[in-house]
Amino acid sequence: MKEIKVAIVQMNVFPGRPEKNIARASSFLEEACKNGAQVAILPELWLSGYVLNRVQDFASPLGEGYFQEVAALARKYSIYLIGSTLEEKDGRFYNTATIFSPEGELLGAYRKIHLYAPMDETKFLSPGDETPIFSLPWGKTALAICYDLRFPELFRLYTLKGAEIIFIPAHWPQKRIAHWRLLLRARAVENQLFVVGCNRTKNEFGGWSGAYSPLGEAIAEGGKDEEVLLASLNMEEVSWLREKFPALKDRRPEIYALI
């Protein structure tokens, strides 16, 4: 799969109303599939919203509870589906991004490493400590979540592990939307890979989701109000650029490895 068509669903999220959020996501995924999307990404905590004081009501082990609803959406629309959901594991709670196959199979999960204290993540959630790479039909894929975007070390690590594309569900506020737009593009340029960010929109959240090429070009970029964006990504651009301009080979890890 050398080229993929990605739907970025920057929907509004209704806190504490999973049934309504699932119904809205379903309608947007139907639209995306009619337009030929093979992969779709939803915002951070799109199903429950940030009602972390009720985390026990919405979190479940991978493959159970609301994760089954996500798998059902992937199956219904025969699409690779990415998004972030609350997970419970061994008595701890996580903000976990997942990838489900068009058959509803869980292909990968990433637990948010950098928790954001102003939204009570450090109070109610545990941080992840793994940086997995997933080999998918279009190439090596990694996940990050919202606040992770401010930590370039994570993205460089993914790159050194072979990542060719990174998907980022987010709940990024409007008042710092310039940072979101800048950092998405920067992470793509400095690591010579595709970056796809899906933000929540409406109310105090900023939208401006987008897909960026290894050269930092905006393949698709929304404003605050669009709800479904489509981007066609030619995955061969990653290897082409890394061969043509091999900046990553000029790293000096012996100088800054301990930073």
Task: Tell me the pLDDT tens digit for each residue of 24-70.
Answer: 999 999 999 999 999 999 999 999 999 999 999 999 999 999 999 99
Among 112, 164, 227, 237, the active-site one is 112
pTM strictly above 0.85: yes
* Arithmetic mean of pLDDT, 125-151: 98
**pLDDT tens-digit series, residues 74-103:** 999 999 999 999 999 999 999 999 999 999
Domain count, the chain: 1
Q: What is the largest CA-CA distance in the chain?
A: 52
Among 44, 87, 164, 237, the active-site one is 44
Among 87, 121, 146, 237, the active-site one is 146
Please confirm, yes or no, whether 146 is among the known catalytic residues. Answer: yes
Q: Which residues contact 211 (CB under 8 A, 6 or more apart)?
A: 6, 8, 194, 195, 196, 197, 218, 219, 220, 221, 229, 231, 233
Q: Name the residue range of residue 111's domain.
A: 3-256
Structure confidence at residue 8 as a pLDDT band (50, 70, 90): very high
The domain that contains 228 carries what CATH number? 3.60.110.10
DSSP three-state, residue 244: helix
Rounded to the nearest angstrom, the gap between the alpha carbon of residue 123 and the centroid of all alpha carbons in its chain is 23
Strands (E), 44-182: 80-89, 92-100, 106-111, 134-136, 139-143, 165-170
